Structure 1
Amino acid sequence: MKPTLLLTAPLFLKHNPGEGHPESPARLQRILGVLASTPVRGTVMGAPRSATDAELLAVHTPALLERLRQLNGHTARIDADTVVSPDSVDAARLAAGAAVQSVEAVMAGQARNAFALVRPPGHHAEPDRAMGFCLFNNAAIAAEAGRRLGAERVLVLDWDVHHGNGTQAAFWGRRDVMYQSVHQFPYYPGTGASREVGQGAGEGYTVNAGLPGGNSDADYGMLFEELLLPVAEAFRPQLVVVSAGFDPHQHDPIGGMDVTERGFAAMCSSLRSLAERVCDGKLVLLLEGGYSLEGLSQSVHACVEVLAGRSDSFPTGDTHTDARDALRESRQALKPYWSALS
């Protein structure tokens, strides 16, 4: 059995948005501490490379690259949430490179699957704008790498508590990359309504499920089993990329959800099974948000166990009325495009 590849580097700890900022180096330190104290058999740790300009420009504008080059080596505030320290731009370029390298490893059959344990996160970064703690969009860059390496269809699924506006924007008019998101709505950044389904050639290839908050593992299981997975199965991706944000955790100080470690393991397990059915297991996870150090580290560890072979399932239980309403709205918006929802 090929190993699960884990990619990380000390440089990620040098991205420091400042005291009190939730996206702190302590997040990754705690994850790595838990993985070191409780190793997962079947995993191998690797060191990533930095993304090339060409890999970044597959998603981002030259103007954004130039702007971030100018900030390299400096401390600066891009917006109210997004701060760079002297090593941040180099760390972001390395995070994007880790995303590409993860895709390269699974596409080449060198790894069973992969998890890039990176900072800063990426899914809010739009093609022409850094925002929301994010500089480069790691998930979109990974999807483009998959396309270059021969995947005709790539699925990007985002379970972060915040909608990935940047990833959605990157593929809004395309059908070769499907973007799916389950998130809190309305919430930052304000995008992700069920009616947002893409446009032009991409109409029907953006799938949004917005929940109002307080939703459980069972609610997420319902959305996966009755919306996200049926559409994904019909799409038949040749690579699955996950924006793995752990801020829906019940103890997260920013999110408003009630997901547990078992819920995250179940989400990961369902996507591993999907990938095994449709694309020979080609699955890449990329770290996004998650700000409860204990909830984040334990949930990442649970997902790494799943990637290495453990299976988990969504707990049974009552679902919330508002989650059922959200499911109905999203299915209604997507039914014209996917017979699996009829």
Structure 2
Amino acid sequence: MAAPVLFHHPSSLEHDPGPHPEQPARIVAIERALEDRGWLGFDVRSSPPAARAQLEAVHPARLINGIQELCAAGGGAIDADTVVSPGSWEAALHSAGGACAVVDTLIGMPGAVDAPRLAVSVHRPPGHHAEIRRSMGFCLFNNVAVAARHARDAHGVRRVLILDWDVHHGNGTQDVFWEDDGVLFCSIHQSPLYPGTGAADDVGAGPGHGYTVNLPVPPGAGDDVFCSLVEHVVVPLARSYDPGLILISAGFDAHRDDPLADGQVSDAGYGTMATSVRAVADELRIPVGVVLEGGYDLGALARGMTATLEALAAEGPVSAPALGVHPLAERYRERHAALLGA
């Protein structure tokens, strides 16, 4: 089995929104932590920029051109939370391109005996708040959505599961796949909290009805809630849905140390969630891709990412964690079992 692959690019450090939680130091913190651990055995590579066609598979030309032109003009504010600088255009291209490179690495050569089963994109800006026609919430392009669409369009993957455990709802990813049964979007997020979307009864529409799975949790939710939701809701849905690829929108702002929310997830909690994902991916014999989202305490971010990648990259067979079913997980399991037949 080939070594897992990590994509990064120095342009992530050139996206400068000024005094802002989503800062270049986030990438520095992650990379220092991984370097101290020998990169956990990952094959570290430079990411390519996203191709125009990859971006236009999700976003209209008007949005893409507008970001490019604003960056070329010296930068400025898209909204109160989302600011670009001259270097943001290149950073955004590589952030989306790194996510697509994850897909190409995992499934570009179907059946290859030495294909890696794990790849990660460590880039900024993040992406899961970017809607089809609107950049927002620190996000310019929706990197994980671009990657999922690329997996289907370029590689023929029929079904992709996206697990978003960022503490903020992935409203952009929901927007992209709202009427699409080719992507099962599962979001665990604090509610109430920005952006105010992601109600449990928001389940998609048309052909996508039932394939948006929102799992809002109250402020103060910690390992017992998050880990149970992954193991007892997302994992059974994955078995029922039978995807060809799992992508994790990996935000680390549900951590107990994060300043922008009220989550109480620990370093170990991220490792446990990742172990659940690794176990079901092994069971289904499919690869896992990780795309960085939020996380604004530098220490918690670096430790959370390290714990996640360490669990996903563990050698040998992996057993699912032994976890009790939290009452909230039981409630959501009943709701979504009816929708997807899990």
Unaligned ranges ≥5, structure 2: none
Call closer, same or farther: CA 1:197–1:72 in 2, change over 3 Å.
same
Helix, strand or coil for the counterpart of 2:195?
coil
Structure 1 residue aligned with 2:332? 330
CA distance in structure 2 between the aligned counterparts of 1:304 and 1:69, rounded to whole angstroms: 33
Tell me the CA shift for residue 43 of structure 1. 1.1
8 A contact 1:50–1:95 mirrored in 2: yes
Deviation of the 1:312 alpha carbon: 8.0
User: Is the Cα contact below 8 Å between 2:231 and 2:273 reproduced in 1?
Assistant: no
Query: What does 1:53-202 align with in structure 2 at a 5 Å threshold?
Result: 53-73=52-72, 74-107=74-107, 108=109, 109=112, 110-148=115-153, 149-202=155-208
Q: Which amino acid aligns with 2:239?
A: E
Taking the TM superposition and a 5 Å limit, the aligned residue runs for 1:1-342 are 1-19=1-19, 21-73=20-72, 74-107=74-107, 108=109, 109=112, 110-148=115-153, 149-278=155-284, 280-309=285-314, 324=327, 326-340=328-342
Cα offset for 1:112?
Answer: 2.4
Amino acid at match of 1:102: V
Q: Post-superposition shift, 1:276? A: 1.7
- 1:281-300 CA-partner distances (Å, limit 9, x unpaired): 31100000001111100111
TM-superposition CA deviations, 1:242-277 (whole Å, max 9, x none): 100000011001121110111111111111222222
**Deviation (angstroms), 1:159:** 0.2
**Mean alpha-carbon deviation: is it higher for 70-79 or for 138-147?**
70-79
Distance 1:78 1:190 in 2: 19
C-alpha contact 1:40 1:304 (8 A) present in aligned 2: no
Q: After TM superposition, give the deviation of residue 16 of structure 1 in Å.
A: 1.1
Deviation at 1:335, TM superposition (A): 3.7
More displaced 10-residue stretch of structure 1: 234-243 or 300-309: 300-309
Q: Is the 8 A contact 2:228 2:324 kept in 1?
A: no
Q: What residue identity is the alignment partner of 2:35?
A: A
Distance in 2 (alpha carbons) for counterparts of 1:277 and 1:317:
21
Q: CA deviation at 1:71?
A: 1.1
| Deviation, structure 1 residue 306 | 1.8
Residue identity in the other structure for 2:268: R
**Most deviating of 57-66 and 215-224:** 215-224
CA deviation profile, 1:81-134 (whole Å, cap 9, x unmatched) = 000011012101111000001100000354221010010000000010100000
Residue 282 of structure 1 aligns with an amino acid whose one-letter code is P
CA–CA separation in structure 2 for the residues paired with 1:317 and 1:199: 32
Residues 41 and 211 of structure 1, relative CA distance in 2, 3 Å threshold:
closer
Tell whether the 8 Å contact from 1:262 to 1:312 is kept in structure 2 after alignment.
no
Percent identity, please. Answer: 41
TM-score, L = length of structure 1: 0.93
Instruction: Report the number of matched residues.
Output: 333
Tell me the TM-score normalised to structure 2 length: 0.93
- Give the distance between the partners of 1:333 and 1:55, measured in 2 at CA: 35
- Conserved? CA contact 2:228–2:325, under 8 Å: no
Contact 2:275 2:321 in 1 (8 A): no
Q: Distance in 1 between matches of 2:194 and 2:67?
A: 23
Q: Specify whether residues 317 and 152 from structure 1 end up closer, same or farther in structure 2 by C-alpha distance, changes over 3 A only.
A: closer
- In structure 1, what is the Cα distance between the partners aligned to 2:289 and 2:272? 16
Q: 1:293 to 1:312 in 2, by over 3 A?
A: farther
User: How far did residue 226 of structure 1 move?
Assistant: 2.3
Contact 1:2 1:111 in 2 (8 A): yes
Whole-angstrom distance in 2 between the partners of 1:255 and 1:274:
29
Give 1:333 deviation, angstroms.
3.7
Aligned-partner SS, 2:294: coil
1:199-244 residue CA offsets vs partner (Å, 9 max, x unmatched): 1111011101000111121111221222111111100000111100
Task: Please tell me the residue identity of whatever aligns with 1:37.
Answer: D
Q: Deviations over 1:128-184 (max 9, x none)?
A: 010000000001001011102021100111000000000001000010111100010
Runs of 4+ in structure 1 displaced over 4 angstroms? 310-319
- SS in structure 1 of the partner of residue 134 of structure 2: coil
Question: 2: distance between equivalents of 1:312 and 1:259?
Answer: 21
Return 3-12 or 300-309, whichever deviates more. 300-309
Which sections of structure 1, spanning at least 5 residues, go unmatched? none
1:72, 1:90 within 8 Å by CA — same for their partners in 2?
no
Contact residue 232 and residue 325 of structure 2 kept, 8 A: no
The Cα shift of 1:315 comes to 7.7
CA RMSD of aligned residues (A): 1.7
Secondary structure of the 1:46 match is strand
